[in-house]
Chain A
Amino acid sequence: MEQSGTPSLLKGAVQDLATGVASALSSGGHGPVSGDLSPAAAGADGFAPAAVRVLGADFLLPHVLAGTRPDAAELALFRQAVEAYPPRADAAPTVLWSHWAMRRTLRVLAPDTADGTTAEPRADWLELADWRTLTHQLSVLASLALPGADSAVARVAGKRNLDLARGFVRAVRRRDWLQAAGAGRWLSLLDGVPDTLGLPAGLDFVELMADGDPQVGLQVRAARRLATGALV
């Protein structure tokens, strides 16, 4: 199933980056940025910053989980993405939150260079969402699903864990593998998820059926990493 409408070259660059991040989640390291992108994307006029903005805070996820500092090139590209694509005043909540998540990542990984704290965007839209919309929106914001990383979005996810479990099953049955993987990442972090969900087997199935989609692979590996704390 087609997962999104992102134009092809940008989507390819996002997938290149996701492949590198997913690999790093398995190996414990993180390759150089230039190694994750095609020459067209990584060049001076390339769209690497846009691709990093789309991938969001997950670009540096291996470093966040391992507690390591990114190299200067990674940090520079990440900061460029944050600064080049600020949310508009009328931006959707997911756009606001993904940008907030990137700024939080900068504060965690490079506190000496980051700017000050930023107030959280509102999360009332998520509290009022039905369980289907909740699952879709949380999946889009899966980069916020991190151990010990509090946010209004994470608090809503914790309160609505059963709705999210129901949404995970729906996403699998609809063959929306990216949504299922993002929801699975949240569920791997939350308490009170029913054992009857069979989350580990479900994640295996999602990875299998996604047929190598790197963005799905990133979320599935992140979910396993959050659940076990080990390399996946």
Chain B
Amino acid sequence: MTSTEKVTEVIRTQDIDIDAALDPVEADGVFRDSRECAALAVAGGKGEVLLSPPTPRPKKG
């Protein structure tokens, strides 16, 4: 980055909307593949229970 670009970037940063950083939209999700599932199994392989969601509750009505 040249010094001119850096100055421009700093000025732009000074001008940002802080609220956007404090109220971010949810990031787009990318579901993991089977290789990463295997990594999770290894990470939880110390006798601990693997990640699993709570049992779904009955729907009302």
Contact = CB atoms under 8 A, between A and B. Distances in A.
Nearest to A141: B22
B40 to A, nearest CB: 5
Interface stretch (A4-12, A28-36, A148-156): A4-12
A176 B19 CA distance: 21
Main SS of the interface on chain A? helix
Interface stretch (A60-68, A105-113, A200-208): A200-208
A175 B54 contact: no
A196 B22 contact: no
Contact of B54 (A9, A98, A196, A200): A196
Contact of B31 (A5, A175, A197, A208): A175
Given A47-B14, A92-B19, A194-B54, A1 B49 contact: no
* Max chain A Cβ within 10 angstroms of own Cβ: one of B19, B21, B29, B31: B21
Contacts of B10: 9, 40, 45, 47
B28 A1 contact: yes
A133 to B, nearest CB: 8
Contacts of A176: 26-27, 29
B31 to A, nearest CB: 6
Contact of B46 (A4, A195, A197, A201): A201
Contact residues on B (Cβ < 8 Å of other chain), bracket = 35 or more
Interface of B: 6, 9-10, 12-14, 16, 18-24, 26-32, 36, 39-40, 43-44, 46, 48-54, 57
Interface of A: 1-10, 14, 40, 45, 47, 50, 53-54, 56, 85, 87-88, 91-92, 94-95, 98, 132, 136, 140, 162, 165-166, 169-170, 172-176, 178-179, 194-198, 200-202, 204-205, 208-209
29 contacts: A1-B27, A1-B28, A4-B21, A5-B21, A5-B24, A6-B24, A7-B16, A9-B9, A9-B10, A9-B13, A10-B21, A50-B18, A54-B18, A87-B19, A92-B22, A95-B19, A166-B53, A173-B29, A175-B30, A175-B31, A175-B32, A179-B26, A179-B27, A197-B49, A201-B48, A201-B51, A202-B51, A204-B43, A209-B39
